[in-house]
Every structure is written in structure tokens, then in C-alpha cells.
Amino acid sequence: MSNADIVRSHYAASDRGDLEGMLAPLAENVRWTEAAGFPYAGTYVGPQAVAENVFARIQQDWDGFTLTIDEVVDGGDVVVGLGTYAGTNRTTGRAFTARVAHVWRLADGRVMEFEQVTDTELVNAATRQF
């Protein structure tokens, strides 16, 4: 299985709502970085920290949160996923859509690093209470 296939398997698990499948390719010491300004900004180390600080919070805060991946760019040990986030904030009832790029760094078939790049203002505007 190529590194791009490993990333695709993560996205497929996400589409199914399969948390175990999403976490499966992550190394025990994976460094997962959510963009500065994103509601879950920061770097989390290890699959459990990612599950608790990113995936669980998305489930808690958003209705119909989706990630639609349009393209996976295979750069060998570096893979890039390009797509779109969308969802409706449970507190405000406001929806958003924002383009996203995910940069994955893999070694020996395991995800070692992940970095999210997105327009955080589009996401934050949906969370703001006026």
C-alpha cells in the first residue's frame, strides 16, 4: 500500500464515521497540527490526543460536519489532501464552507506528522455569537 493509499484509507474511514479506522495509520507519536486560528488549534501528540482534541470536539460542536477530498497528491513520503470542509455550528446555527489542504508526512507506512491549512476565519465566523 502506497503512502497516498494510506491517506486515502484515513479519508475513507472518516467518510464512514469509523474513528478506529481514522486513527489506525497514525504512529504512536504522531504530531497532528490544527491551523492557528482554527477552533481546535494546536499540535497534539499521539492518536488518543488527536481523537480527544480534534475528532471528538468536531462531533460535539458541529452538525453535518463533512470533509470532501477532491484530490490526493502523492509526493512519496509527503502526501497532500485537497478538499472542502462544511458544517453547521450547533450553538449558533450558522453554516460554513472552507477549502482545506492537509499535509501528511509518513515513514514506514505510518503517519508521523499532519498539518492542516484552511481559512480559519470562515470557520470562526460560523462559531461567533453576536
Domain ranges of the chain: 3-127
| Confidence (pLDDT) at 109 | 97
pLDDT score, position 18? 97
pLDDT (tens, 9 = 90+) of the chain, 130 residues, equals 999 999 999 999 999 999 999 999 999 999 999 999 999 999 999 999 999 999 999 999 999 999 999 999 999 999 999 999 999 999 999 999 999 999 999 999 999 999 999 999 999 999 998 7
Give residues with Cβ within 8 angstroms of 81, minimum separation 6: 7, 11, 69, 71, 72, 73, 100, 101, 102, 104
Element (H, E) at 121: helix 120-127
Tell me if the pTM is above 0.85. yes
Residue-level pLDDT at 3: 98
Number of neighbours of residue 47 by Cβ within 10 angstroms = 22
Q: How far apart are CA 86 and CA 66, in angstroms?
A: 5
Report yes or no: 88 and 81 within 8 Å, Cβ to Cβ: no
Given a contact cutoff of 8 angstroms between Cβ atoms, the answer to whether 39 and 124 are in contact is yes
Q: Which residue has the cell 455550528?
A: 89
- 3-127 folds as Nuclear Transport Factor 2; Chain: A, (3.10.450)
Structure confidence at residue 129 (pLDDT): 84
4, 80 contact by CB (below 8 A): no
Res 33: pLDDT? 98
